[in-house]
Amino acid sequence: MTADASLISRTATEIRDLLKTGDVSPLDLLDTLEARIAEVDQKVNALPTLCFDRARAHARALMDKPVGERGPLAGMPVPIKDLTAIDSVRTTMGSTAFEDHVPDQSDIMVERLEAEGAVIYAKSNTPEFGAGANTFNDVFGATRNPWNTAMSAAGSSGGAAVALATGMAWLAHGSDMGGSLRNPASFNGIVGMRPSPGRVPSSVSPPIDGTLGIDGPMARTVADLALLFDAMTGEDDRDPLSAHHGGTSFLDAALSAKPPVRVAFSADLGITPVDPEVAAVCEKAAGRFAEAGVEVVEAHPDFTGVHDCFRVLRAKTFASALKPVYDSHRDKLKPELVWNIELGLNQTGADIAEAEHQRARLFHNARDFFKTYDLLLTPATIVPPYPVEQRFVAACNGHTFDNYVEWLGIAYAITLIASPAISIPAGFTASGLPVGLQIAAPPRGEAGLLSAAAVLEKILWPQPITPIDPRGGD
């Protein structure tokens, strides 16, 4: 067993193949990651909780099995976002109300990953209860962007994205309600995908029928992400929304790299301001689909009413999930979170009914749209990375937002229509900061989405742009 720094730059699919042939062991990978974390994490604060003893015990148990019986991940290390329970591992949810919490049972998503050959070795940093797209909290502090450590890593899966970008992970788990897999992917130059609701089973919490917040995969390349997604998907009777994946290999879909016929690009979906440099980078990247023979048209569905709809349904979700915490620990919660919970507690049944009708209309608008266009492309975020001390984006391109999440509209519009969406690197600003391109597909369209994203990824980046060493910012 020994650390091998040369493994850090290999793709996850390459590492998995080395595990399958026995050229490396899960213990070798853990040694390599532990050394890399010691080298770089003090500069970015992505993985504040480590569990290498537990990981090595699981790795040894896995190695007692024949290589062919170690699951599709075969011993790949994976960090878990600190919103998700791992048995016997500190799980804070980024809140001082839970800073000493150690669950005795894992989330069923974690159980599934471990059954598929994942080795869990760390918890990745997140904002308090995942609220807000800047990863900071009063337990562990802020996670910094490795492209410029003066900047935000976005969120809420910011720790996971930074771990990938800096070579402290080959694969990572995250979750997404208003863009929390896609925003940090955009800010950190990696790949993150929000799946369709029901694709990834997870332990049920209120509301039991919620389809806004879901778990999903992150990686450095589209194929690597598909490898993890295969291990995450499937039916579980403990999650009533989970669905059987039908035997689809999402990795095979990504490796097939089949271009779509016709795609739509919109810089703003008609609903939000966008930083002009971000819009230009994304439009140029989307246009390069034409090099694969794809027709690229400027168009988008009608998203009228999307902000009111998401504000109400998000608030309902926060109130349902966090009322007990609010009742007992209101004084420990950050003000944005208090505002969101109280908004949910105080809105009326009529407000919720109207929002549900709005969402159904948005869904059908998008369904009709996808009869004409295979995919919808937009910026993944409307701004480049901003200073880490800034809690959220208050204004963009002359427009002041009404609340701390409205700047995420280009991402949560896709959440509301139940579409899978991936963020891949689109390019860089003049100052060298990453910009992500969001690609959305019809519901349950992950196979086609991953295949198409792999086509564009190959055009834009013949070689992966990460991992990198953290770069200091002044």
Sign of the Cα pseudo-torsion (362, 367, 371, 376, in order): positive
Q: In this predicted structure, what is the pLDDT of residue 299? A: 98
Q: Is residue 76 part of a domain?
A: yes
CA terminus-to-terminus distance, the chain: 39
Q: Is residue 104 part of a domain?
A: yes
Q: In this predicted structure, what is the pLDDT of residue 1? A: 54
Q: Is residue 335 part of a domain?
A: yes
Q: Are 304 and 336 in contact (CB under 8 A)?
A: no
How far is CA 214 from each of CA 31, 65, 221, 236, 420, rounded to the nearest angstrom? 31, 32, 21, 15, 11
Q: Is residue 178 part of a domain?
A: yes
266 is catalytic: no
Q: Is residue 419 part of a domain?
A: yes
Catalytic, out of 25, 95, 152, 156: 156
Q: What number of CA atoms fall less than 13 Å from residue 57's CA on the CB side?
A: 5
Query: From CA 428, how far away is CA 436, in angstroms rounded?
Result: 9
Catalytic, out of 81, 123, 316, 334: 81
Tell me the residue length of the chain: 474
- Residue-level pLDDT, tens digit, the chain, 474 residues: 589 999 999 999 999 999 999 999 999 999 999 999 999 999 999 999 999 999 999 999 999 999 999 999 999 999 999 999 999 999 999 999 999 999 999 999 999 999 999 999 999 999 999 999 999 999 999 999 999 999 999 999 999 999 999 999 999 999 999 999 999 999 999 999 999 999 999 999 999 989 999 999 999 999 999 999 999 999 999 999 998 777 889 999 999 999 999 999 999 999 999 999 999 999 999 999 999 999 999 999 999 999 999 999 999 999 999 999 999 999 999 999 999 999 999 999 999 999 999 999 999 999 999 999 999 999 999 999 999 999 999 999 999 999 999 999 999 999 999 999 999 999 999 999 999 999 999 999 999 999 999 999 999 999 999 999 999 865
Catalytic, out of 25, 106, 157, 180: 180
pTM of the model: 0.98
Which residues constitute the domain of residue 34?
Answer: 5-460
Query: From CA 412, how far away is CA 206, in angstroms rounded?
Result: 20
Q: In this predicted structure, what is the pLDDT of residue 35? A: 98
Which one-letter amino acid corresponds to residue 230? D
What the block records as the tokens of 265 is: 């690009």
Q: In this predicted structure, what is the pLDDT of residue 473? A: 67
Q: Is residue 411 part of a domain?
A: yes
Q: In this predicted structure, what is the pLDDT of residue 474? A: 57
Which one-letter amino acid corresponds to residue 398? G
CA nearest to 212, candidates 263, 156, 251: 156
Q: Is residue 470 part of a domain?
A: no
186 is catalytic: no
Q: In this predicted structure, what is the pLDDT of residue 247? A: 80
Place of tokens 């086609």: 448
371 is catalytic: no
The CATH number assigned to the domain holding 153 equals 3.90.1300.10
Q: Is residue 468 part of a domain?
A: no
How many domains, the chain? 1
Query: From CA 154, how far away is CA 134, in angstroms rounded?
Result: 4
Which one-letter amino acid corresponds to residue 470? P
